[in-house]
Structure 1
C-alpha cells in the first residue's frame, strides 16, 4: 500500500508549522510529507498531472486520490488524534464556502505568517517521514 503523502509549501511558515502540528498530534506514523519544491514533490505533482504554477494549495495524495484546498485539510484531520480529528467534519460545510476561507488564508500566508529562505530540514529521527 502506498503511504498517504502531504505536499506542502516548504518555505511557508504556516505550512511548516502545520506539518509540525500534524507530527505531534497524529494517531500513527503513517503519513509521509514532501515539500512541493523538493524533487520528490515535483515528481508527485507530475505523476498526478498537477501544474505547480497553478496550485496554491496543500495537497494530500491518499490511495491514489488527490485532495486539495479545504478537502485536503479535512482529510488530513482523519490522521489526527481526538480532538483534532474532528476537523474532518468540515466536510459538512459546502466546499465552495470552505474554499473561500481556505483561499483567503492561502493567498495571504506569506504576508501573515512569513516565509523561510529554504525548505525545512527534518531532524534525523523524522527523516524517514519526509520524501526527498
Structure 2
C-alpha cells in the first residue's frame, strides 16, 4: 500500500508547495498579473511560463486541459490544475495577505458568475491592456519574474532578460 509520503514525483512535477502559473506571454494584462503575483509572493511559491512555451504546451497537454477560445491562465500544482476564475482565486490565495482574504470573499460569488466575469475580461483583454511586443511592453518582467520564469519562450528574449538569466525548464525541473 502506497503511503502519502512514499509517492515519487515524475520528472518535471512541482513540489507540493510550488505552483506554476501559465499565462499568455503576448498579453500585457497577463504579464502585469504575473508581476503583481511575483511581487506579493514572499514565500516564493509561484513559478511562471507562457502558455505557448514548450513547458506550457507540455503541461497543458499532459493534464488534458481544454482551454477556452478567449484564452485563460492556468494554475498548476502537481497533477492538479485550475483555469479561469478558479485559477485566479487560487493564485490570490497563494499570495501574501490581504489577498487570501480577497480570494475567500470571491468564493462567495457563484462559480458561473465568476467565470462569466472572467470570460468577459479575457475576451477583451487585448483591447483593454493591448497586445504588445517586446519593444512596446509596459510590463517587462523585473527580477522577481525573471528568476521564476521556467522558460523564456513566449516572453520574448528582450523582455525576459539576458538569456542566461532565464531558467529553462530542462535545467530547472520541479
State the shift of 1:94 in Å: 1.0
- Equivalent residue number for residue 115 of structure 1: 131
2:107 alignment partner, SS class: helix
Q: Which consecutive residues of structure 1, in runs of 5 or more, have no partner in the other structure?
A: none
- Structure with more helix by fraction: 1
1:78 alignment partner, SS class: helix
Task: Tell me the C-alpha RMSD between the 2 structures.
Answer: 2.3
Q: Which consecutive residues of structure 2, in runs of 5 or more, have no partner in the other structure?
A: 1-14, 152-174
Aligned residues: 132
Higher relative contact order (CA 8 A, sep 6+): 1
- Equivalent residue number for residue 49 of structure 1: 64
Among 94, 97, 105, the residue aligned to 1:79: 94
State the shift of 1:114 in Å: 0.3
- Any conservation in 1 of the 2:41–2:96 contact (CA below 8 Å)? yes
State the shift of 1:51 in Å: 4.1
Among 95, 108, 119, the residue aligned to 1:92: 108
State the shift of 1:123 in Å: 5.1
- Any conservation in 1 of the 2:24–2:51 contact (CA below 8 Å)? yes
